[in-house]
Amino acid sequence: MSLEQFKNRNVGTQNYVKLDLDHTPTSGWCQFKQVVKRTFKPELFVGLWVTLREMINALFRGKMHTTQYPFEKLPISPRYRAIHDMLRLLESGHYRCIGCGLCEKICIANCITMETRYDENQRKEVSEYTINFGRCIFCGYCAEVCPELAIVHGQRYETASEQRASFSLFEDMLTPIDQLNLQQEYQGFGAVSPNADENIKKTPLAY
């Protein structure tokens, strides 16, 4: 599903029919004519036909409108902001997070907690990372500020659970290593724009 489909806010068919309203009757004769016209106009049967047509459409032409929700789900926009995902580098499989702490700093709900340390190669390593989803307002600032596109918003919107902890640990949000080939780039807030390559310029070093 492409983004454009979600950007179109004009949901209807746009085939509006303007009502052709008659003038209010002025004399008794006009009123009588209106009553006769309304009496013998087959408008009631138009209503009957419309409902019957919809029934035929639903039953025999596969136009049933119901989505049987727990069994089938509607596609949601790739920009939807649900439970976070932690992405991995496609080449090495290592998590992308560099432990810079920007998401923790920018989080306006103060729900991100992270602890980092230097590993044996003197690289930053994330030793503790949790998001308190009782506080998170899903504003998307963390995904926007992340320089590595490491923390993004995912598509898991069914967040009813017995324990907050079933979502909020780093390992739970991290892409499973065996599903690395299925990892999707996030299209939303903070993502690289589609024409990013054209916008790359050499860093001006004239000064």
Name the site residues for another protein (rule: CB under 8 A). Answer: 44, 47-48, 50-52, 54-55, 57-59, 63-66, 68
Our CB check for another protein shows the closer of 68 and 122 to be 68
List strand residue ranges (DSSP E) for 60-122, in order: 84-86, 112-118
The strand pairing partners of 169, in sequence order, are: 130
Least distance (Å) between residue 63 CB and another protein? 6
The residue type of 27 is S
Note whether 206 and 127 are within 8 A (CB).
no
Our CB check for another protein shows the closer of 51 and 193 to be 51
Our CB check for another protein shows the closer of 46 and 200 to be 46
| Interatomic CA distance for residues 193 and 207, integer angstroms | 29
Our CB check for another protein shows the closer of 53 and 105 to be 53
Least distance (Å) between residue 35 CB and another protein? 9
The tokens for 132 are 């308190």
| Interatomic CA distance for residues 161 and 158, integer angstroms | 9
Least distance (Å) between residue 11 CB and another protein? 17
Least distance (Å) between residue 44 CB and another protein? 7
Q: What is the largest CA-CA distance in the chain?
A: 99
